[in-house]
Amino acid sequence: MSININLDSILEKRGMKSYELAELIGITTANLSILKTGKAKAVRFSTLEAICKALDCQPGDILEYIEQE
Amino acid sequence: MKSPQLLKLCIDICFIMLIIDVTFSFITYTTFVFYGEPFTVTINDNQKEIADWSFSSGLLILSNFAVLLLSTYAIYLLRKLIRSFFKNSFFTKLQTALFRLIGQLIVLSVILQFIVHFFSTVLLEKRGEIGFSVASGYYISLFILSIGLFFIYLSKLFEKSKSLQEENDLTV
């Protein structure tokens, strides 16, 4: 998929664990794992908003478009 | 979602009756093949009677029996399909494949029935007959054909639904 999820690097910068973020934004660790591994087909605005609020960042910091051939 | 109990019951009764029909038809046909007269067999919903054993009449009997077997197999698969809904799993590969196969079997049995009807008139009454009549029940065949085509369409809808469900499951 050409949309890259940079959640791992932001979590590392903030010194936060995956399960802590999952707990903060109210989703399961399994769903967060789907998002981190790039298996997700879509992200709800409410989830994105919660992630941005919890990590104090912008949607652009999490999602990155990479052109693929 | 509530399980389709009444539908299951109807299909089960239908299947048992078809099994009885297949058994008795098989006995009747084999008796006719081995002993010939005074035994006779009727085809096309008891419309045509075959009294003499010949290659063409044998072919008609065989085709008539094939229609019956196709219908029985379609009902058997429908039973299997209805039972799969009881597990509360929907849009599975099995269900999609069963919908397609049942539809194809229904379409095939209607076409074969039409062919048997046409050739039974040609071979037994030595005349050709092709036409459309409201009174002769052709509309029932057309309705059954529509049901078959609807099943095939339903399998395509199930395929689409499966991808939508997958997308929904992978939405975070």
pLDDT tens string B102-140: 999 999 999 998 888 888 878 777 776 666 666 656 678
pLDDT tens string B58-103: 888 888 899 999 999 999 999 999 999 998 888 999 999 999 999 9
ipTM of the shown complex: 0.75
Query: CB count, 10 Å around CB of B30?
Result: 10
With beta carbons less than 8 A apart as the criterion, state whether A68 and A62 touch. Answer: no
In 3D space, the residue among A34, A36, A30 whose CA is nearest the CA of residue B167 turns out to be A34
- What SS3 class is residue A10? helix
Dist CA B10 CA A66 (whole Å): 56
Shortest CB distance from A44 goes to which of B166, B167, B172?
B172
Whether A42 sits inside 8 A of B166 (CB atoms) is no
Cis preceding linkage at B38, omega within 30: yes
Give pTM, 2 decimals: 0.77
With beta carbons less than 8 A apart as the criterion, state whether A32 and A21 touch. Answer: yes
Q: Identify the helix (H) or strand (E) that includes residue B48.
A: strand B48-50
CA–CA min distance A68, chain B (Å): 22
CB pairs under 8 A between A and B: 23
Q: Does B172 touch chain A (CB under 8 A)?
A: yes
DSSP alpha helices (H): ranges in B48-137?
A: 55-85, 93-125
- What SS3 class is residue A7? helix
